[in-house]
Structure 1
Amino acid sequence: MKKLFFTGLLALAILSTEAQVKTPQASPAAKVEQVVGLANVQIDYSRPGAKGRTVYGDLVPYGKNWRTGANANTTISFDQDIKVNGKELKKGKYAIYTTPKADSWDVIFYTSTDNWGLPENWDETKVALRTTVKPETLMKPVESFTLSINNLTNDSASLDLAWERTIVSVPFTVPTNEVAMASIEKALAGPSYGDYFSAAQYFYQINKDLDKALTWVNKAIELVPSGSETPFWYLRLKSLIQAKSGDKKGAIASAKASLDGAKKAGNADYEKMNKDSIAEWSK
């Protein structure tokens, strides 16, 4: 009887697992990823359908805040500071809310993005930016609510919201020139001390051309900004390269300098490593 009972439980568990019903979402999730100039823009949202209903002024009332989509927050993220309709917006992730009206729309970028729809308690201090744009009438209806990035140039685009026979375009600009010029100036200025350190560390790790690794770590130390302490881990790497190259005397001198820096920084790990190395190389 006990065996039959457990067999029945097992069969019930299997049936329960297999009986999970899968159906399509009423408002399917969607993602938009777009590069604008040198900025990455990502939108995550859900797409309700009109399904024969009058949308604006009925399903979505005029004059009231709207979740701008369905389900969880519609979000947009930028990896650079941008300007929306001429207003500054810091890089980051925002929920998009709107206030549709017959002749104008307010588009709101809200810093809290973990709400289901509208926030339970609206907090005006979380409004990072609010801008007003004019809606336009579409010749052909759009069945599913659609967000897209259009009108791309090297330094601008528009965030477009389209549904039923209405489209709203929110222009924004990205700092392509500033980012490109900074990149050009950095490249023309040559590698940074961090670049030289990374290159030296890699060559040391793979045991390749230790003379070049030593040249690079020395260059990294040389390029440390005036008035700044030479990082003790730079000196540690130099000592290791010298020791592996057979220069025990130079390695000990570098390790002692690294040890002094580690003591000032209170880094016990590097203190121990340097002391152990000095003892080993002094034999």
Structure 2
Amino acid sequence: MKKIILLLTATLLSTGVFAQVKTPQPSPTSKIEQVIGLTDVTVSYSRPSMRERTVFGSLVPFGKLWRTGANENTKITFSDDVKINGSDLKKGTYAIFTKPTKENWEVIFYSDVNNWGTPQKWDDAKVALKTTAKVGTLPMKVETFTIMFSDFKMDSAKLNFIWESTEAMLDIEVPSKKIAEESIQKTLAGPTANDYYQAAVFYKETGKIDMAKEYIDKAVTMRKEPAFWYHRQQSLIYAEMGNKEKAIEAAKKSLELAEKAGNADYVKMNKDSLKEWGS
């Protein structure tokens, strides 16, 4: 028994000691959250340092696939579809892999981001975009690998990879004009059918039944494709107002649409209501 207690005590003590050990990471992680125009772009990566080493052509061999940082994948996320160097890239999250040379960098946006370093088995089907980054020489040396954005315009910016005395750049175009125009048109067009529907449900739940009736009627009228849930709410609002004739009419329409859509829940609810209202 004493041996067991001593063993447990030693285990707990050793676990406690190791749990408290914290050391600085040689390649600390970094996260950039940047808005370009109206598009959110996020980059997360680990940042190795030179430490008196030659980087490109040695630590990072020319012509070989590089994780573009350290540790796990360098990841970039776009909230909208974008263009990289003029080529289309769908919104989403990608790993960034590169093949640096003296003249330029091949940059690859890879859809599988769950690798530590480069993928053990490369899959061309996961290459979302492959492009070439322009390379320039800096007048000074940068100790720690840095990814940053620069040259901001309404619908574009540059993505920069900087380390040692090398800078590689990509052009990013974002759909700011399209998003802004859609927002303007939507706002100037006024409330949508769904806006009126949501308002009607709110006013029904808060007891403002006259407002609920006004807005549900607008919602039903404005919607291009009849919806069983719209007519369901309309029937409940009319029933609460005491207008059973209109309530039954709306419930029958909701029932018909629900049956076509194969929605058993709404079919049952409408049948129960029609029975309750004497139809």
TM bucket (normalised to shorter chain) is over 0.9
CA–CA separation in structure 2 for the residues paired with 1:127 and 1:265: 39
- When structure 1 is superposed on structure 2, of 263-272 and 43-52 the one drifting more is 263-272
| 2:235 alignment partner, one of 220, 239, 262 | 239
User: Once the two structures are superposed, what CA deviation does each residue of 1:184-203 show, in whole Å capped at 9, x if it has no partner?
Assistant: 11111222212211111122
Equivalences for residues 170-209 of structure 1 within 5 A: 170-207=170-207, 209=208
Query: Does the residue aligned with 2:130 lie in a helix, a strand or coil?
Result: strand
Structure 1 gap ranges (5+): none
Does the alignment pair 1:214 with 2:210? no
Q: For residue 76 of structure 1, what is the aligned residue in structure 2?
A: 76
- When structure 1 is superposed on structure 2, of 4-13 and 265-274 the one drifting more is 4-13
CA–CA separation in structure 1 for the residues paired with 2:206 and 2:169: 54
User: Once the two structures are superposed, what CA deviation does each residue of 1:107-138 show, in whole Å capped at 9, x if it has no partner?
Assistant: 11112211211112222232222222222222
CA–CA separation in structure 1 for the residues paired with 2:257 and 2:133: 58
Which amino acid in the other structure matches residue 250 of structure 1? K
Q: For residue 152 of structure 2, what is the aligned residue in structure 1?
A: 152
Identical pairs, percent: 49
User: Once the two structures are superposed, what CA deviation does each residue of 1:133-188 show, in whole Å capped at 9, x if it has no partner?
Assistant: 22222223222211112221111111111111111111111111111111111111
Which amino acid in the other structure matches residue 204 of structure 1? K
Does the alignment pair 1:112 with 2:108? no
Q: For residue 65 of structure 1, what is the aligned residue in structure 2?
A: 65
User: Once the two structures are superposed, what CA deviation does each residue of 1:33-53 show, in whole Å capped at 9, x if it has no partner?
Assistant: 101001010111111111111
Q: For residue 262 of structure 1, what is the aligned residue in structure 2?
A: 258
Query: Does the residue aligned with 1:152 lie in a helix, a strand or coil?
Result: strand
CA–CA separation in structure 1 for the residues paired with 2:4 and 2:203: 63
Does the alignment pair 1:93 with 2:89? no
TM-score under structure 1 length normalisation: 0.92
Q: Shift of the alpha carbon at 1:73? A: 0.9
Query: Does the residue aligned with 2:158 lie in a helix, a strand or coil?
Result: strand
CA contact (8 A) 2:47 2:70 kept: yes
Q: For residue 133 of structure 2, what is the aligned residue in structure 1?
A: 133
Query: Does the residue aligned with 1:235 lie in a helix, a strand or coil?
Result: helix
Query: Does the residue aligned with 2:220 lie in a helix, a strand or coil?
Result: helix
Query: Does the residue aligned with 1:102 lie in a helix, a strand or coil?
Result: coil
Which amino acid in the other structure matches residue 60 of structure 2? V
Q: Shift of the alpha carbon at 1:24? A: 2.0
Does the alignment pair 1:275 with 2:271? yes
Instruction: Mark the CA change 1:201 to 1:5 in structure 2 (over 3 Å): closer, same or farther.
Output: farther
CA–CA separation in structure 2 for the residues paired with 1:248 and 1:10: 75
Number of residue pairs aligned between Structure 1 and Structure 2: 277
Post-superposition, which runs of at least 4 consecutive aligned residues in structure 1 deviate over 4 A? none
Q: Shift of the alpha carbon at 1:6? A: 5.1
Which amino acid in the other structure matches residue 114 of structure 1? N
Q: Shift of the alpha carbon at 1:236? A: 0.6
TM-score under structure 2 length normalisation: 0.93
Q: For residue 249 of structure 1, what is the aligned residue in structure 2?
A: 245
Q: Shift of the alpha carbon at 1:245? A: 2.0
Which amino acid in the other structure matches residue 14 of structure 1? L
Q: Shift of the alpha carbon at 1:248? A: 2.5
Query: Does the residue aligned with 1:134 lie in a helix, a strand or coil?
Result: strand
Which amino acid in the other structure matches residue 12 of structure 1? A
